[in-house]
Amino acid sequence: MTNTMDMAGTKVLVLAIDGPPIATEADGNDIISEAFSTEADLIAIPVERLGPDFLRLETRVAGTVFQKFVNYHLRCAIIGDIAPLLENSKALSDFVRETNKGRSIWFLASLDDLRAKLTRVGA
């Protein structure tokens, strides 16, 4: 079940694990609409919701969707274990490392890690 919660002063839309996959730009638009309807500032997406090609950077799906989030001033956290994907892609490893340094897109293991990061960066 999708819900919203306050984490360190940030309204977070937490997507359900069992929802439809996020595999296209249109799927990203649907999430943006949902975030706006709940007045969320950040979207937490379980890694299980990502389509099979989402994090294959050569498909540009992640880049397109993440850019839309940024354009609409929505932050995003991908929640879950992506270690197997990182082992097979230096480009993805570099992307994750760089985005985690910023304030817009993060890759974190759990919602507790998201709460801690929001607390550290001052929401």
Q: What is the pLDDT of residues 4-45, one digit of tens each?
A: 999 999 999 999 999 999 999 999 999 999 999 999 999 999
Q: What 3-state class would DSSP assign to 46?
A: strand
CA distance linking residue 69 with residue 63, whole number of Å: 10
Q: What is the pLDDT of residues 95-115, one digit of tens each?
A: 999 999 999 999 999 999 999
Query: What pLDDT is recorded for position 1?
Result: 64
User: What average pLDDT does the structure give for the chain?
Assistant: 94
DSSP assigned state of 15: -
Query: What pLDDT is recorded for position 2?
Result: 78
Strands (E), the chain: 3-7, 10-14, 42-46, 75-79, 105-108
